[in-house]
Amino acid sequence: MSDAIDATAVADAARLARLALEPAEQQAMAAELERVRAWVSMLQAVDVSDVAPMTHPHEGAMGLRRDRVSSDLTAAEALANAPAQAEGHFLVPRVVG
Amino acid sequence: MAWELVIGLEVHAQLRTESKLFGPASAAFGGAPNSHVDAVSLGLPGALPVLNKEAVRMAAIAGLATNCEVQRHSVFARKNYFYPDLPKGYQISQFDKPICLAGHLDIDAGEGPRRIRITRIHMEEDAGKSSHRAGGSYVDLNRAGVPLIEIVSEPDLRSADEAVAYLKELRAILIYIGVNDGNLEEGSFRCDANVSVRRVGQTTLGTRCEIKNLNSFRGIRDAIGYESARQIRQITAGETIIQQTRLWDVDKGRTAAMRSKEQAHDYRYFPDPDLPPLLIAAEDLTAWAATIPELPAQRRSRFVSDLGLDTEMARLLCEDPETADRYERTLGQDQSPERARSLASFLTGRLAGALNKSERSWADIDTAMTQLAEVHDQWRDGKLSNKMLTDVLVAAFAADASFADALESARDHTGLIEQDDGALDDMLAAIIAANPGQVAAYRSGKHKLIGFFVGQVMRQLQGKANAKVVNAKLKALLDG
């Protein structure tokens, strides 16, 4: 990711994030994100040729869980925060055709 | 010039754990909407995923049973996309460090054994279910977070028949080792097919299309047939194939491209910061490997070499472990090839046929397999005629009582052929004396008339005669 962030890249990211940005907002966002990218890109200058790649900051392996059902959440509780619900379902604007 | 199909398959198989991959809610199929949920599968803020060890075991033995190298170190990654049935906004999957690599399956689609390479097996969580109705999309998160393995093959398959053979073998293996229920209709075993075509002799791959929405072996066969014909037609007409995802429409019998908007994927995978690397201890892997039972291929070859069954019968019996177990249980100690073959066709033919026409299930009749073996042996020994056997089965299947009781009372009612040679000889002599015309015709060369005489005997004895004995005796009388 050494390419500078421009309005096109912002439009693309906005589409993936389902954000509706006006052209002016895209321009402003591009400038802001480009400053962040440029700052972070200082890391690129560090010589890591003798450092092993790391996928996770913690040492060691993850803990595993026994295969046991123990949820005490009811459907009503699960739906309690939903802006809209119907027939026990989360109701969202129709997503296809 | 001839064309060649090139097919690679991606299979999603749901693991048969009790709870979900990263949370404690039930992983059972169905249930009232949103009743199998927990903080993790709802994507509630702050809820942290904790991996289910049993899912790891199942993924690992799926790898071992398909000749993969199980990776002692693997990593979970986030696959990012927005859809209402994916509450976190990403699916936890594995990307560049999956749990299994480099396996293979040997298949035989009728043209000799072929080895199909498996690229990788990775673990991931399922998404929820959306139903799109007039008022909006209804989201049920019961399935969200249910553990899956995705098994990716190399593009080594060359026909729809090979694809189906590969899928059936893979499905059987996963059922045998107890990690998947093999149910295509409920979607616990589902498949996407990457299909391309090329001229025979060409070594580079053609442009492929991915077909989704395949939920039966028939659909897979038809979809591959349709899609390959479509691609050949396009290329022959001078058009180019566009790489795209296409949906199989089972009603129209064709594939159609998804809208390009739905195809614009950029999943931006990155290692999930909530989950440290998965390390599998050597002793765990050894202990898990010891739990793998006899696999379908081994069982088939044992049925052929030890019991004398033909390949096709062995394949039929070994498609799922219950059928094979039932067969071996019913066979018991007397495993002579003649009896083994006869019992195999009895179970898969007459008995399965009678069962299909009835309201009963295999579970119903499993308690009576010892008696069924006796019935089979009596029929094989000529103590029950074909008609008597049919009568017993029909009566037993139709009765309301438990199958074991129903079978006993049907056997008592039908009885056995009493072999009274004297009485039979008298009856045969009488029938021959009463039909001089037929006898003369037979003796002048119309040997098919033996059937007429057998029919007379059977009618008088109401089907309770050993056809082999009657035939032999009649032949002796008529020819002599």
Structural domain count, chain A: 1
A20 close to B (CB below 8 A): no
Q: B388 versus A68: which is more confidently predicted? A: A68
Q: Which domains does chain B have, with CATH numbers?
A: 3-288 (no CATH), 310-414 (no CATH), 421-479 (1.10.10)
Residue at A70 is within a domain: no
Of B188, B181, B146, B179, nearest in space to B21 by CA: B146
The residue segments making up the domain with residue A5 are 1-45
Residue at A6 is within a domain: yes
Nearest CA in chain A to B40: A71
Domain of A2, CATH number, reads: 1.10.20
- What pLDDT does B443 receive? 83
Residue at A65 is within a domain: no
- What pLDDT does A97 receive? 47
Q: Are B107 and B113 in contact (CB under 8 A)?
A: yes
**Chain A interface test: which of B52, B96, B138 (most A C-beta within 10 Å):** B138
CB-CB neighbors (< 8 A) of B26 in chain A: 69, 71
- What pLDDT does B63 receive? 96
Residue at A74 is within a domain: no
Residues of chain B scoring pLDDT < 50: none
DSSP 8-state class, residue A45: G
Residue at A33 is within a domain: yes
In Å, how far is A14's CA from the nearest CA of chain B?
Answer: 12
- pLDDT tens digits, B359-377: 778 887 787 888 888 878 7
- What pLDDT does B264 receive? 60
What's the whole-number average pLDDT of chain B?
Answer: 86
Do A71 and B38 make contact, defined as CB atoms within 8 angstroms?
A: yes
CB-CB neighbors (< 8 A) of A17 in chain B: 82
User: Which of the four pLDDT bands, split at 50, 70 and 90, describes residue A1?
Assistant: very low
Q: Are B128 and B139 in contact (CB under 8 A)?
A: yes
- What pLDDT does A85 receive? 92
Four-point Cα dihedral B323, B325, B326, B332, nearest 10: 140
- Prediction ipTM score: 0.78
Residue at A67 is within a domain: no
CB-CB neighbors (< 8 A) of B140 in chain A: 88-90
Residue A89's contacts (CB-CB under 8 Å, 6 or more residues apart) are B33, B34, B131, B138, B139, B140
Residue at A29 is within a domain: yes
- What pLDDT does B408 receive? 72
A16 close to B (CB below 8 A): yes
Residue A59 confidence (pLDDT) above 90: no
**Mean of the pLDDT values across residues A73-95?**
90
Residue at A80 is within a domain: no
Nearest CA in chain B to A73: B38
Tell me which residues of chain B, numbers 110 to 149, contact chain A at a CB-CB cutoff of 8 Å: 130-141
- pLDDT tens digits, B322-355: 889 889 888 878 778 888 888 888 888 887 887 8
Nearest CA in chain B to A94: B136
- What pLDDT does B455 receive? 82
